[in-house]
Amino acid sequence: MEAVFSGIALILEPFNLALIFVGVLIGVLVGVLPGLSSAMAVALLLPFTIGLEPVPAIAMMAALYCAGTFGGSITAILINTPGAPPAIATALDGYPLAQRGEAGRALGIAAVASVMGGLFSLVVFILAAPALAAIALQFRPQEYFALTLFGLSMLATISGKSSLRNLIAGALGVLVSTIGVHMSTGVERFTFGLSGLYEGISFVPVLIGLFAIGELLNQSQTLDKTVERIKSVAVRLPSREDFRRVRGTILRSSGIGTFIGILPAEGSTVAAIIGYNEAKRWSRNKEEFGKGSIEGIAGPEAANNAATGGAMVPTLALGIPGSGTTAIILAALIMHGFRPGPYLVRETPEFIYAIFTAMLVANFLFLGIGLAGAKIFSRITLIPRTFLWPSVFVFSMVGAYAYAQTPFDVWVMLISGIVGFVMLRHGFGPAPFVMGLILGRLVEETWSQSMVIMDGNWWGFLESPIVLLFLGLTVISLFWPLITEHVPKLFRSRRGAEAGSP
């Protein structure tokens, strides 16, 4: 207990609290701007922390990491432009709510779900870090392949469009993910002699183009129409009944996000996608998803923020980064003279508790910003579209270029915007395409690595209980619509037959 109180005391110093507050503000702003990620912000912050003591330096980075994940949901809800990749799933139901004039309600649900997911993962992080980190160590490329395959199995139900269109869009995303030089063989695929395609297509410019530019082009068709919004509705916060309705979704998604965050390199984007799908799978109101379901906001927001705390487990307990942002935090730890891993947990436990407290404070800070600012943020939807969408276009251009500082990504973003517009016109959801792009690359990489490890013997997949578990979940996921539709009918017909028999 002495280490706990020592860690808390380190954070509660006024200077350290001020740095955490600054980190939260930067994180929310970075999350709001399309194309700017928390990993980029932490990387830019790294040189400025050299002159700081280790605890405030790492605390500020951790606070930025937590807040940046939440910040992406703000523009995802208000203008269908995910400020960060994990907010892709949030836009599916957040934006329809904003279009109905309920942006404040959507932002409030997102803020509370984000904080609850973050708090859940932090409690798990502090109580079970060593045990959970040991489980994560058992994941080899075979297990990662099975987990990612499970994510791909959700393509058919990721949005409210038809399952067939979702599968087609997802398959196109997987196809695009194969562009570039193959990791194992060195073979060039679909590069057409363009050097910008050698490393494949980055999904951040694609994401900005599909959601922001695609929606911009779609909205440009209705500029001559008058849209009336009622301010009293637009700024309404969630009710107690709303929170009661989503509490089960938040708890379930928090567990999913924490587990996926612990797995190195999976990250909050995959957690958000799976959290959304599971929220829809277990919901009693599946027909609302894609049209403005608050469960469709709570699920991915709880999952992606829970993944931030989960990602800190392997980073601090094993020295294995759980995400791109924690990889930079790991470098900062080493720069400040720490040795992440069991030695850190054993020799300086007060430092672990200090980071835990910093992330805890950061979660409550962005809860205040999210709820207090929800009414202010929601008024963005009242700005005339003739002013709003040109601003979105400028930010999209800046975000696409800032990701890798190359004009090629700007062209990728613009082309993706045209593709997104055509997809919307013909009933194809952009979310399955992005999901296929992200997970397709992971599936290919983990399959290639597994084949090298097992010397081409694919039967080796069946030797792992974890692989068998995820393969079983994949089969259940694929056939879940049939199960939920026909099994209840079978039981009802059987009960009817028994009741009718003499």
- How do the domains of the chain map onto residue ranges? 2-492
Q: Are 459 and 142 in contact (CB under 8 A)?
A: no
**Whole-angstrom distance, CA of residue 276 vs CA of residue 295:** 8
pLDDT of residue 273: 83
The CA dihedral of 237, 243, 245, 248, to the nearest 10 degrees, is 140
pLDDT of residue 321: 63
pLDDT of residue 232: 39
The CA dihedral of 139, 142, 148, 153, to the nearest 10 degrees, is -130
Interior CA angle at 111 toward 110 and 117, to 5°?
Answer: 85
b/e code 81-114 from CB counts within 10 Å (16+ = b): bbbbbbbbbbbbbbbbbbbbbbbbbbbbbbbbbb
How far CA 2 is from CA of 54, 58, 340, 349, in Å, comes to 20, 21, 21, 10
**Whole-angstrom distance, CA of residue 248 vs CA of residue 254:** 10
Contact residues for 244 (Cβ-Cβ < 8 A; gap 6+) = none
Q: Which H helix or E strand runs over 188?
A: strand 188-189
How far CA 292 is from CA of 254, 303, 443, in Å, comes to 21, 18, 31
**Whole-angstrom distance, CA of residue 176 vs CA of residue 62:** 33
Contact residues for 339 (Cβ-Cβ < 8 A; gap 6+) = 319
pLDDT of residue 277: 85
Give tens-digit pLDDT for 321-347.
Answer: 666 677 677 777 877 777 666 667 667
Two tokens at 41? 């912000």
pTM above 0.75, yes or no: no
Pairing, β 180-181 against β 188-189: antiparallel
Scanning the structure block, which residue is given the tokens 């894609």? Answer: 290
Tell me which residues of the chain have a pLDDT lower than 50: 160, 225-235
**Whole-angstrom distance, CA of residue 392 vs CA of residue 409:** 17
